[in-house]
Amino acid sequence: MNTKKAFYTNSPRTHKKSGGIPKGHIVLNNFLSAPAVVRDELFGYIALANSETGYTERELNVIKRIADLYGISMERKQMEEALRKSEASLSNAQRISHVGNWDWDIVNNELYWSDEVYHIFGLEPQESRITYEAYIRAIHPDDRMLVLEHVNKAIYENKPYSIDHRILLPDGSERIVHEQAEVTFNETGQAIRMAGTVQDITVRKKAENAMFNAKLVAEAANKSKAEFIANMTHELTTPLNAVIGFSEMLMLGTFGTLNDKQTRYVNNINSSGKHLLDVIDDILDLSKVEAGKMELHPEEFEVSSAIEEVNILVASMAEKKRIEITTDLADNNIVVEADKTKFKQILYNLLSNAIKFTDQGGFVTIGGKISEDFVHIYVKDSGIGISPEDQGKLFNPFFQVDSSSTREYGGTGLALALIKKFVEMHGGKIWVESEVGKGSTFGFSIPTSLKSTSH
Ligand code: ADP
């Protein structure tokens, strides 16, 4: 009696050690081993042990055939595993990115959706086989024409499309999707397939809409703020001018002589009134710039003439503190095209600050040069200086290094914020370099011609 035992081995890599893939079966002392090799790859062995009679040619062929079939089935298993893995990774990628893909066999009207497309449309993938008609029904009625028009253009005019539209889910909720698609044609020019992607962009679109609405609200709020300030300014300046005017008349003794205390108080009323008027003027200017209502009136002028005119304005202030102002222009004929009034206001604020924050007997220099279509101006002083921390805040409205400085030096904390806006309106930049106790240098650059800016 033949006692044959068949066994399998699942160690396909053993051939590596023995040097190469076995080409055929081996019979050794009634022991038969047949390698399962498919396309030069070893998937395992089928082995038989026959203790008595050995093997006939027919038996050998049968075993060899079985080993071949075993190899083929192992290869298929591996391929199926690889396919399953790549499908799982694709489906994962689609789930994470909320992008699904679809394929429409136009000839047989068969539509394939990836799992993610089913999810986007609020359906269970296994529950239903989607049809083209069901897909069209799921599109928001108001967007259906838009989608159909693009589908037709893709099929009849070979125009791939990329559109956003809304879809309706079975539970009645709405989503926004981004779809891209293109058509494949056969040799006769007939559209045979259409393939595309669907991306759920609901969250992104809602955020965009919310941002857009917030921007509209902010713009409206800013506009009403600007209008409010303009109205308030008018309401405040009228009585304030009366306060200043009448206190001046009292100071002049028009209605009789005042005693010392009365003079002091009337002086206070007058200077506080003037300070308040400065604040209101600056706030109005700032809000005008912010509301885009401040316009530039460009003209050509010599920088040296603007500096001279401003020097005259600050001369008495400088004289009182015995501060010498020197001018250091690289070229006396520098000509710019800018808003001269605003240019002078920038210079005036920088110069008056330099004088204000410099001790008696100090010095102030105003200089300028042209390079690369920009005019660069600086105002340097030997004053109290500004700490690095405060330098970053100087150009914020109402900022003053020392809040008690209003009492000591006067001012509103608005001038630098305002002139920064003026410089920016010209397409320029303003900056500061300073060291506490040594002095400060404020500089700004604006284009020599306004044609190179958007204004
Ligand atoms: P203010 O009307 O108070 O001068 P600014 O906006 O012009 O308002 O200046 C804001 C603050 O910046 C000032 O209060 C002062 O603390 C500081 N500052 C401006 N220029 C100088 C300077 N040249 N030296 C030192 N500190 C300065």
Exposed e or buried b per residue across 299-324, where buried means at least 16 C-beta atoms within 10 angstroms of its C-beta = eebebbebbeebbeebeeebeeeebe
376-415 pLDDT, tens digit each: 999 999 999 999 999 988 898 877 777 655 556 667 788 8
Pocket test for ligand 1, best of 398, 406, 416 (most atoms within 8 A of CB): 416
Residue-wise pLDDT tens digits, 238-255: 899 999 999 999 999 888
Span 313-354, pLDDT tens digits: 899 899 999 999 999 988 878 899 999 999 999 999 999 999
Which residue, by CA, sits nearest to atom 23 of ligand 1?
354
How far, rounded to the nearest angstrom, does the alpha carbon of residue 345 sit from its chain's CA centroid?
A: 35
Distance, CA 274 to ligand 1 centroid (Å)? 19
Q: Between the CA of residue 443 and those of 215, 347, 350, 398, what are the distances in Å?
A: 33, 10, 9, 20
* Burial grade of 258 (CB within 10 A; 0-12, 13-18, 19 or more): middle
Q: 123 CB less than 6 Å from ligand 1?
A: no
Q: At what angle do helices 415-425 and 260-290 cross, to 10 degrees?
A: 30
Least confident range from 206-220, 288-302, 316-330: namely 288-302
Question: Atom of ligand 1 at shortest distance to CA of 413?
Answer: 8
Question: Is 70 a pocket residue for ligand 1 (Cβ < 6 Å)?
Answer: no
Residues 454, 60: Cα–Cα separation, whole Å: 91
Distance CA 117, CA 6 (A): 50
Centre of ligand 1 to C-alpha 415, Å, is 8
> Which tens digit of pLDDT belongs to each residue from 141-160?
999 999 999 999 999 999 99
SS3 letters for 387-454?
CHHHHCCCCCCCCCCCCCHHHHHCCCCCHHHHHHHHHHHCCCEEEEEEECCCEEEEEEEEECCHHHCC
Question: Which two structure tokens, joined as six digits, stand for 132?
Answer: 């083209």
- pLDDT above 70 covers a percentage of the chain that reads 89
pLDDT class of 2 with cuts at 50, 70, 90: very low
- Which pTM was predicted? 0.55
CA dist list (Å): 430 to 19, 36, 304, 453:
78, 81, 19, 16
For residue 18, pLDDT over 70 is answered with no
pLDDT at 166 over 70: yes
Ligand 1 atom closest to the CA of 358, numbered from 1? 24
Q: Whose CA is nearest to atom 9 of ligand 1?
A: 413
Q: What is the pLDDT of residues 7-17, one digit of tens each?
A: 444 444 444 44
How far is the C-alpha of 280 from the C-alpha of 73, rounded, in Å?
A: 90
Sole residue written with tokens 């394939």: 112
Question: What's the confidence (pLDDT) of residue 23?
Answer: 67
Q: Determine if ligand 1 sits within 6 Å of the CB of residue 413.
A: yes
